[in-house]
Structure 1
């Protein structure tokens, strides 16, 4: 798998990076394309398969499509911190899929602690969702329209850009 070495980073441009706030509502951001993709439970799932049936497959297909369409060279995501997320199991499942897809496509992935992302974006390491949305709009002039998933993805992207001096 491709590593995020100094040499590799030196060749990256801002449009080569995509950031994800991974969850059932997945915020994503890269230059020219951003939003939130939703991967709902399916009502058509066979009962024995559970409500999440096909959700993971849809997420994986979407990731492959969006990463290859934009020719992404590096991915940034929020790291998992136990106790700070309501649906911890789901977050871990989706994060695992993101890692598998990046490995399959030979795209390096870096994760950042939520507190580091918040500190960089707002100056407060324990900023709430409202503050993260507010600062995404004020600081980066990108309308998030109340979408905290998109706001988080923007902050993750901007933290990557800052951290790796792109």
Structure 2
């Protein structure tokens, strides 16, 4: 998949998420309130998974927040890999009892910064759908996610010095 294909795919997915697919004329697009927009966005693990499945071929693992606490040993400070505008990334390890169909493996756990606004949730959701489809030797693989209560978390392959 070349860059232009990725860009087009991302734009189409973004339009699908925003519910504007097929609205070629923005002036005729239906006017919705913030309350309506929040109702349209998947806000629980089942709805996120349904949307992701409808637009992705790569299966992602759904983690609970309690499982992520175990994986990161309760988000230990010395497991912190870095942070930024998106939130904090922790190193973790998916053990045999939490394998969920994958071999025990080190992971990077990206905890969303807590912006649970409509825009913040939409950006997180676009990342789940878009990165769930990508597979490239130069990109870390998105393994799974957590969408539980106010928690929005992405789980990636861990890449040392990455």
Query: Structure 1 or 2: larger strand share?
Result: 2
**TM-score computed with the length of structure 2 as normaliser:** 0.30
In the superposition, the TM-score normalised over structure 1's length comes to 0.29
Larger Rg: 2
